[in-house]
């Protein structure tokens, strides 16, 4: 599919005055990372993620028909509430999102909106809410489009376009729409994959990955030191960028096989290497950043000691921050949980951590 396939023209808004939709959408954790993008939110390399379950955003989009004399006004009209409070500072990002998706959803300007959102995780936890937040909003917009569309809209189109729109809000958000394992970026070995939207990974997945856990250790609960927008830009002219993008494509091929074979040792190796590569890219860019904190390193070393002692398959991954995601299979849960409580929680800010696991994707609540 191309961008043109996502333009909805001539939708009749005359029969829909007002209404609302609520979507609950999960966060996701990348195994092979997206870091570096071209114009229009096109990724430099393919990425793959596990969809989470307990970390989610709940968004209600209420819409009301605009007076016809206002429709030609250039800006979209909306109010944003986060956890019950009006949030002016959230508006610019959403305004940019509306502007970017305008050409694909021209009906948007015919309504006024109230956006009410909340996260299951603390806002200042250092967990990025852009993936779940933007996918929730994109799905609400799609529900509105579906109600306006005179013809039956297939689920396939609905979710593809939702992911397409979410991507325009935040790249990783396109992986928070549908499915437990999602691939974003055109890759020769992943059927149906595209730079424009995320697709559910449809290959056979070994039972070792069923109910996989992600315990998130909140090492640094502050705002992110480097926004992802700034971070992605660091890959322009980066001396190792091209090699990194090639490596990510190779890692997708490898992880595809690992997900099938259930080879947990190989999984650990690739996931940790991806996390450290992401941080290495930030350390070797100009300007350069170290986003890990001393406690991030302490945790990593503890994990490595734990693995050497137990031969279990607990591994870590990182986003563009200091928090650590602990990934491990269901059958190692008890031992790992004991280890986490005894050895790792001391390195978390205020002892905060979140127990999550692989989830299924977004859900419409009304
Ligand atoms: C390190 O999706 O937050 O989490 O497209 O600029 O909104 P924008 O970036 P964003 O980048 C996420 C980067 C990452 C890795 C990943 O999730 O793949």
Per residue in 71-85, pLDDT (tens digit) is: 666 678 999 999 999
- CATH classification code of 3-202: 3.30.230.10
% residues pLDDT > 70 (the chain): 98
Number of helices and strands in the chain (H, E): 8, 14
Residue 97 CB less than 6 A away from ligand 1? no
Q: What is the pLDDT of residue 74?
A: 63
Query: Rounded distance, CA 204 to CA 185, Å?
Result: 19
How far away, in angstroms, is 131 Cα from ligand 1 center?
Answer: 8
Query: Rounded distance, CA 183 to CA 106, Å?
Result: 28
Residue 172 CB less than 6 A away from ligand 1? yes
pLDDT tens digits, 97-126:
999 999 999 999 999 999 999 999 987 677
Residue 52 CB less than 6 A away from ligand 1? no
How far away, in angstroms, is 308 Cα from ligand 1 center?
Answer: 32
Query: Rounded distance, CA 88 to CA 275, Å?
Result: 34
What 3-state DSSP class applies to 264?
A: helix
- Taking CA atoms only, the protein residue closest to ligand 1 atom 14 is 319
Q: Record the pTM.
A: 0.96
pLDDT tens digits, 225-273:
788 889 999 999 999 999 999 999 999 999 999 999 999 999 999 999 9
Question: Residue 77 forms beta bridges with which residues?
Answer: 112
Q: What is the pLDDT of residue 127?
A: 79
- Taking CA atoms only, the protein residue closest to ligand 1 atom 5 is 171
Whose tokens are 């489009």? That residue is 145
Whose tokens are 């936890």? That residue is 125
Residue 319 CB less than 6 A away from ligand 1? yes
How large is the average pLDDT for residues 299-316? 98
Taking alpha carbons only, the member of 164, 190, 195, 168 closest to residue 178 is 164
How far away, in angstroms, is 34 Cα from ligand 1 center?
Answer: 6
Q: Where are the alpha helices (DSSP H) in the chain?
A: 91-101, 130-148, 155-169, 228-233, 241-261, 264-283, 294-310, 333-339
Measured from the Cα of 169, ligand 1's closest atom is 7
The boundaries of every CATH 3.30.230.10 domain in the chain are 3-202
Q: What is the pLDDT of residue 73?
A: 64
What 3-state DSSP class applies to 3?
A: helix
State the architecture of 207-357 in CATH terms. 2-Layer Sandwich (3.30)
Residue 119 CB less than 6 A away from ligand 1? no
Q: What is the pLDDT of residue 50?
A: 98
Residue 227 CB less than 6 A away from ligand 1? no
How far away, in angstroms, is 30 Cα from ligand 1 center?
Answer: 9
Query: Rounded distance, CA 346 to CA 350, Å?
Result: 8
The boundaries of every CATH 3.30.70.890 domain in the chain are 207-357
């Amino acid at each position: 599919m191309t961008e043109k396939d996502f333009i909805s023209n001539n939708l009749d808004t005359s029969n829909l005055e007002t209404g609302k939709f609520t979507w609950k959408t999960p966060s996701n954790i990348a195994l092979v990372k997206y870091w570096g993008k071209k114009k229009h939110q096109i990724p430099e390399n393919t990425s793959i993620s596990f969809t989470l379950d307990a970390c989610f955003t709940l968004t209600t989009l209420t819409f009301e028909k605009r007076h016809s004399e206002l429709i030609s006004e250039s800006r979209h009209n909306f109010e944003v509430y986060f956890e019950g409070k009006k949030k002016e500072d959230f508006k610019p990002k959403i305004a940019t999102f509306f502007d970017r998706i305008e050409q694909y959803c021209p009906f948007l300007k015919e309504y006024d909106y109230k956006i009410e959102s909340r996260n299951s995780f603390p806002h200042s936890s250092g967990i990025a809410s852009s993936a779940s937040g933007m996918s929730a909003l994109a799905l609400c917009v799609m529900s509105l489009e579906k109600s306006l569309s005179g013809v039956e809209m297939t689920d396939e189109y609905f979710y593809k376009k939702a992911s397409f729109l979410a991507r325009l809000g935040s790249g990783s958000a396109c992986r928070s729409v549908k499915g437990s394992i999602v691939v974003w970026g055109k890759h020769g070995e992943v059927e149906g994959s595209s730079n424009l939207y995320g697709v559910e990974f449809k290959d056979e997945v070994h039972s070792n990955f069923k109910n996989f856990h992600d315990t998130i250790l909140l090492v640094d609960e502050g705002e992110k030191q480097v926004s992802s927008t700034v971070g992605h830009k660091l890959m322009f002219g980066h001396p190792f960028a091209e090699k990194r993008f090639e490596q990510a494509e190779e890692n997708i091929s490898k992880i595809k096989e690992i997900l099938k074979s259930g080879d947990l040792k190989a999984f650990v190796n690739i996931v940790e290497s991806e996390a450290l590569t992401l941080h290495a890219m930030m350390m070797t860019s100009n300007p350069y950043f170290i986003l890990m904190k001393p406690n991030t390193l302490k945790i990593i070393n503890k994990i490595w000691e734990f693995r050497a002692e137990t031969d279990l398959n607990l591994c870590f991954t990182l986003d563009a921050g200091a928090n650590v995601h602990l990934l491990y299979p269901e059958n190692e849960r008890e031992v790992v949980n004991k280890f986490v409580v005894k050895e790792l929680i001391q390195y978390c800010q205020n002892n905060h951590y979140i127990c999550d696991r692989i989830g299924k994707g977004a859900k419409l609540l009304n």
